[in-house]
Amino acid sequence: MFFFSLFNSLILNTPVGHVSDDEEQFLSWEERIQIALDISHGIEYLHEGAVPPVIHRDLKSANILLDHSMRAKVADFGLSKEEVFDERSSGLKGTYGYIDPVYISTNKFTMKSDIYSFGIIIFELITAIHPHQNLMEYVNLAGMSPDGVDEILDKRLVGECNIADVRDLATVAHKCLQKFQRKRPSIGEVSQAILKIKQRCLAKEDTMSIEVSRVLTRIEDQQVELSRMASKKDVE
């Protein structure tokens, strides 16, 4: 199976699958929600499923791989380390733009440092802006306005998603980026929050499908009635 990195698909807009030269392809909002959920489940396995727990230490969009179904897998465990209580680190490791500021100041990497990196990735999914493109400056400016997230949403998604869902996902990301690690959620809590957003999206899609079906049924009924009336008129 061949995989593409999230960085290539989201930031560089590299085509995934068979796309014609004149066809623009980008990750839909539904795909981005699913990708966020897949990533959270991957981290959840490392933090809460593995024995002993594992800290990734280098979460970034380039280390998230997508298959042709746009399902995501967390990859590149080169810096990963089992969590131990007397963990010591010799020098900072990781990728600029994704590194937890607490790690920079204390030289101690924890699970909550992975959570911080994931918060950055979530904002990448929302904005299609890479940390090296001043992502956090845009995010911080957006945070000064109640509708700020609307302004930094990937323009290709405008009109293609429910803005309330975007704001909810941004709220999850902001919680992951809390200054103090103790205020950041666990990965299990993050997974639950993203799952709820996905479920609301699916519920809205089902509602829309039902409404469309009802409209089509009414149109068909009207066409049948008009045809019946026309036939009756011809007979007269």
Name the helix (H) or strand (E) containing 66: strand 64-66
In the three-class reduction of DSSP (H, G, I as helix; E, B as strand; rest coil), residue 28 is classed as: coil
| Residue 147 annotated in active site | no
Residue 228 domain flag: no
Residue 89 domain flag: yes
State yes or no: cis peptide before 52, omega within 30 of 0.
Answer: yes
Identify any residues that bridge with 174 across adjacent strands, giving them in sequence order. none
Give the count of domains, the chain. 1
Phi, psi of 200 (to 5 degrees): -65, -40
User: CB 98: neighbour CB atoms within 10 A?
Assistant: 22
Are 161 and 29 spatial neighbours (Cβ–Cβ below 8 Å)? Answer: yes
Q: Give the model's pLDDT for residue 115.
A: 98
> At 202, which CATH number?
1.10.510.10
Q: Give the model's pLDDT for residue 10.
A: 76
Domain hosting residue 29, numbered range: 4-209
Residue 222 domain flag: no
Residue 217 domain flag: no
The pTM of this model reads 0.79
Longest C-alpha distance within the chain, in Å?
Answer: 96
> CA dihedral defined by 227, 229, 234, 236, rounded to 10 degrees?
160
User: Over its length of 236 residues, how does the chain's per-residue pLDDT go in tens digits?
Assistant: 556 788 777 766 654 443 344 445 789 999 999 999 999 999 999 999 999 999 999 999 999 999 988 899 999 876 555 444 344 444 678 899 999 999 999 999 999 999 999 999 999 999 999 999 999 999 998 887 777 899 999 999 999 899 999 999 999 999 999 999 999 999 999 999 999 999 998 887 655 554 545 555 566 666 666 666 666 665 55
Q: Give the model's pLDDT for residue 173.
A: 97
Residue 122 domain flag: yes
Q: Give the model's pLDDT for residue 78.
A: 60
Q: Catalytic: which of 58, 100, 114, 154? A: 58
- Please name the residue ranges forming H helices in 48-97: none
Q: Give the model's pLDDT for residue 175.
A: 97
